[in-house]
Amino acid sequence: MKKSIGDNMIPHGWTFEQGLELIKKSGYDGVELWLGDTSWFQMTTTDAQVADLLRRVQNAGLVVSNVSTGLHWDSPLSARDPKVRAHARRIVERQLESAQIVKADAVLVVAGLVTAEVPYNEVYQRCVDALQELGPKAEAAKVKIGCENCNSEQRFLLSPREFKTFLKDVNQPWVGLHLDVGNIHDTGFAEQWIEIHGPDITRIHLKDVKKHRGRCGDESVYTNLFLGNNDWRAIRAALQKVNYDGWLIAEMEDRYRFAQDQQFYDTAAAIDRLIQGRL
């Protein structure tokens, strides 16, 4: 398995080059590019500029593990307004195009957002429709779309079997699950998601979760690896069982208040121990 971390973790005020240097120095193999989250990678970034990002990543001795985005929180594929949905689809298309340019074969998509206003049935159907339309584009680009399980934040696809049914309804071989082992909170167990989804997993986000905090408090529910309630031995065993040998991508919500670069080193060391089984 290989280690990666998001470029949105690069401390504020640092340049892309400084961040890449830190990522390399702290022991990662790759970087996850976040469309819309950084000044260097926006919807307006041209193909040539994206190609330049790849050049800079390669110069740092890294590769791009995948292309993610948080833009779908504001423009979900499940929106009622067709103009918003059209924009959401365009975001995915841009992710696919960018992934091709940076030679990555997976993107992360937050598929749908259940709210008090937009109910579950609508969200489900719209996401199925959108992904059925985007699946062939992903296939043409040879880039997998990984729908992330954002259980608590999306209030959508809360169990692994439900997610499996969803992927079955989408019925597109180039659409799978981008599994975040921290996002499951107290709605289940990451190792069970891994077992149920196995080959459908496109990428894995790593973070730990403090289940007792809940999402309603003012503290982040997420924390650094090994500080929370995830059973990392079980997670590792499940990854072995399903022969997952892909990218493990660090995604920390809670940042170090001081010496922010230290979080890169600590997280890389924790992932090494997870990979090596020194738990």
Partner 1 sequence: MSVSRRRFLGVAACAVSGVFAAARSPGQSDRRTAVRTALDSSSAGSSCALVDLESDCALPESFAGFERGLVAASAAFEHATAGKIPFARLILVPGAVLRSARTAQTLRDLADDGATVVYESGAAYADSESVTNEQRLLARCFGLRVDAPIDVWRPNRGAAFAPYVHYTWPSSVMIRDFSRVMPVASQHRTFATLGELPVAGCIRIGAGEFIFLGSTLGPHLWSGDQEARTLLEAFVRFPQSA
Binding-site ranges for partner 1 (CB under 8 A): 80-83, 116-119, 121-122, 124-126
Cα separation, 175 vs 132, whole angstroms: 9
Q: In the block, which residue shows the tokens 């799978």?
A: 176
Collapse the DSSP code of 176 into the 3-class scheme (helix H, G, I; strand E, B; otherwise coil) and give the result: strand
Output the smallest distance, CB 117 to partner 1, in A: 5
Cα separation, 120 vs 138, whole angstroms: 25
Q: Do the beta carbons of residue 248 and residue 2 sit within 8 Å?
A: yes
Output the smallest distance, CB 86 to partner 1, in A: 11
Collapse the DSSP code of 209 into the 3-class scheme (helix H, G, I; strand E, B; otherwise coil) and give the result: strand
Output the smallest distance, CB 130 to partner 1, in A: 11
For partner 1, the closer CB: 76 or 160? 76
For partner 1, the closer CB: 117 or 218? 117
Q: Do the beta carbons of residue 178 and residue 248 sit within 8 Å?
A: no
Output the smallest distance, CB 122 to partner 1, in A: 5
Cα separation, 205 vs 247, whole angstroms: 9
For partner 1, the closer CB: 49 or 125? 125
For partner 1, the closer CB: 115 or 152? 115
